[in-house]
Amino acid sequence: METTVNLPLSSRQRLSAAGQPMLASGYGRRRFVQGAGFALLWAAAGLTVGLLAIVIGYIFVRGLPGLSWRFLVTAPEGGLSGGGGISTTIVTTAYLVLLTLAIATPLGSGAALYMSEYAGDSLGLQIVRFGIEMLAGVPSIVFGLFGYALFVTRMHFGFSLLSASLATAALVLPVVIRTAEESLQAVPRDLREASLALGTTKWQTIWGVVLPSALPGMLTGVILSAGRIVSETAVLYVTLGGSSLLPRNIMDGGRTLALHLFYLATETNAPVSKQMATGVVLIALILLINFSTNWLGRKWKAKTL
């Protein structure tokens, strides 16, 4: 029997002596294979975590000395010097994230809702779904060029928060749609049927049961795209202008944290410590977003389960 594997060595030998030699014979080799497998998996995991730690550690070690309260609350000087702090870029990042999500969330959730609940499984829908997959793989600079051609020039929005938000929204839409659709389809059929069987309409069922159940997952997609927006540079490089001043309305251009870092690293005489300090703030922001996703998800689960 299989249970012999768990017995102490002596009794295992006794049992095999009692007429089960087959089991004992392959055991050493199987244990070796298992050990080697574990070792490989452990090495892969360890290497990944290690690399991550090195990257983040390096940036923190080199960037922390340049980081100060003053650095955070001072506006960048602009121009070639790379002097000053990063205050306006942090605020502009927040503006851009909020505006982009305000565009992408209703649009993406609506599209996902339609595809998951109403469209059925037609050929047209499969093509649309394939298109969304494709969009997710398009390099972000292509979205930037698209935004530049359409919003900045053709529609005369200029280099502005509006142009940049629209282009970035197009960039994150596939993520929003896909996570939303996945969470909608993960809602058990049981729940939909239970609601419909009470004499509610399909619309009421979607709003009353399906959406609330899918909301944590949909929200995860939205927050993940917030991280994507924070770290985006290519799209913004060709749509947001790059002014180091604080935008006063959505038709003003500006500079997000990531875009600022790009300028610092490529076009200014700023010292490396300043670039690294900006990188630290950027990484901290993204970590914060990811942790809040996890925290929110867990809190949500605790509430309903």
Partner 1 sequence: MTTKTLAQALRLPLAQLQTSPRPQAVPLAVATAARQSLPAATFSAQDYSLYYGDFLALERISLDIPARQITAIIGPSGCGKTSFLRSLNRMNDLIKGVRTEGSILLDGQDILLPGTDVVALRRRVGMVFQRPNPFPMTIRENVSYGPRKLGEHNRARLDEIVERSLRQAALWDEVKDLLDRPAMALSGGQQQRLCIARALAVQPEVLLMDEPASALDPVATLKIEELMRDLAHDYTIVVVTHNMQQAARVSDYTAFFLSGDDRTGRLVEFGRTKEVFTKPHDRRTEDYITGRFG
Among 69, 197, 249, 266, binds partner 1 (CB under 8 A): 197
Of 58 and 118, the one with the shorter C-beta distance to partner 1 is: 118
Of 187 and 261, the one with the shorter C-beta distance to partner 1 is: 187
Of 249 and 304, the one with the shorter C-beta distance to partner 1 is: 304
Of 200 and 231, the one with the shorter C-beta distance to partner 1 is: 200
Q: Can you tell me whether residue 188 is helix, strand or coil? A: coil
Cα gap 133→122, rounded to integer Å: 17
Residue 286: burial class (beta carbons within 10 Å; 0-12, 13-18, 19+): middle
Q: Which two tokens stand for residue 110?
A: 């609506």
Q: Can you tell me whether residue 84 is helix, strand or coil? A: strand
122 binds partner 1, rule: CB under 8 A: no
| CB of residue 191 to partner 1, shortest distance in Å | 6
185 binds partner 1, rule: CB under 8 A: no
Cα gap 92→70, rounded to integer Å: 18
199 binds partner 1, rule: CB under 8 A: yes
195 binds partner 1, rule: CB under 8 A: yes
Residue 229: burial class (beta carbons within 10 Å; 0-12, 13-18, 19+): buried
Among 190, 248, 249, 266, binds partner 1 (CB under 8 A): 190
74 binds partner 1, rule: CB under 8 A: no
188 binds partner 1, rule: CB under 8 A: yes
Cα gap 124→106, rounded to integer Å: 22
Which residues make Cβ contacts (< 8 Å) with residue 254, sequence separation at least 6? Answer: 88, 89, 92, 95, 96, 161, 240, 241, 242, 243, 245, 246, 247
Among 200, 231, 243, 273, binds partner 1 (CB under 8 A): 200
Residue 241: burial class (beta carbons within 10 Å; 0-12, 13-18, 19+): buried
194 binds partner 1, rule: CB under 8 A: yes
How many positions of this chain bind partner 1 (CB under 8 A)?
Answer: 20
Of 194 and 288, the one with the shorter C-beta distance to partner 1 is: 194
Binding site for partner 1 (CB under 8 A): 188, 190-191, 193-201, 204, 208-209, 212-213, 303-305
